[in-house]
């Protein structure tokens, strides 16, 4: 599976790209817009037809999820420990972790978790240059939660990333730094289909 994570800053052209990606098979689009107001998030999500809302995952503004028809929520590492599965039992939950020990401690109510950095980041200059979580993969014990590779993922390294033991990949920089995000997504998706 491929997950695409939105840009963090608002870009009025981005929703058009989201629609193209969703229309071409994207199963999971993470909306990461921490700085927007509630009204701005509502306006942004309203550009996405209800038929695609099941693919949307909110990183913030969780209190708007029900109103927006979104059933998937993501929690960063700072908020992850404050989540009680009982408070979100009608939602699919995902989170971020930064080492395999954190990942191994996750309860089964998490659907998947991002683990980073795998490679040097394409969207955050300098992130992942000095370290990688890859050596930690041998210590994976948690098989109840899917492990998603994040940071520096592109079509040339997806095969080797999935062969390392990751269950899925998340894309940010390879999509948003591309001159043609749709074609980049299609190239990445073709590579993941070999691992289904």
Task: Work out the angle at residue 31's Cα, subtended by the Cα atoms of residues 64 and 91, and round it to the nearest 5 degrees.
Answer: 50
Class of domain 2-193: alpha beta
Domain ranges of the chain: 2-193
Q: Model confidence at 105, in pLDDT bands (50, 70, 90)?
A: very high
Per-residue model confidence (pLDDT) at position 130? 79
Q: Tell me the pLDDT band of 107, cut-offs 50, 70 and 90.
A: very high
| pTM for this model (two decimals) | 0.94
The answer to whether residue 87 scores a pLDDT higher than 80 is no
**Binning pLDDT at 50, 70 and 90, where does residue 77 land?**
confident
Per-residue pLDDT, 81: 78
């Amino acid at each position: 599976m491929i997950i695409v994570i939105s840009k963090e800053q608002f870009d009025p052209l981005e929703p058009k790209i989201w629609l193209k990606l969703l229309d071409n098979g994207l199963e999971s689009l993470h909306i990461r817009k921490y700085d927007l107001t509630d009204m701005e998030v509502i306006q942004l999500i309203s550009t996405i037809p209800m038929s695609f809302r099941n693919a949307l995952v909110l990183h913030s503004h969780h209190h708007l999820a029900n109103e927006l028809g979104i059933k998937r929520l993501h929690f960063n590492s700072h908020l992850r420990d404050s989540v009680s599965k009982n408070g979100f039992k009608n939602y699919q939950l995902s989170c971020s972790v930064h080492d395999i020990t954190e990942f191994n401690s996750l309860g089964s109510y998490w659907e998947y978790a991002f683990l980073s950095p795998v490679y040097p980041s394409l969207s955050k200059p300098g992130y992942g240059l000095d370290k990688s979580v890859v050596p930690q993969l041998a210590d994976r014990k948690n098989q109840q939660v899917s492990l998603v590779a994040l940071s520096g993922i592109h079509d040339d390294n997806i095969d080797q990333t999935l062969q390392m033991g990751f269950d899925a990949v998340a894309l940010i920089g390879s999509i948003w730094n591309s001159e043609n995000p749709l074609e980049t997504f299609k190239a990445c998706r073709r590579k993941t289909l070999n691992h289904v």
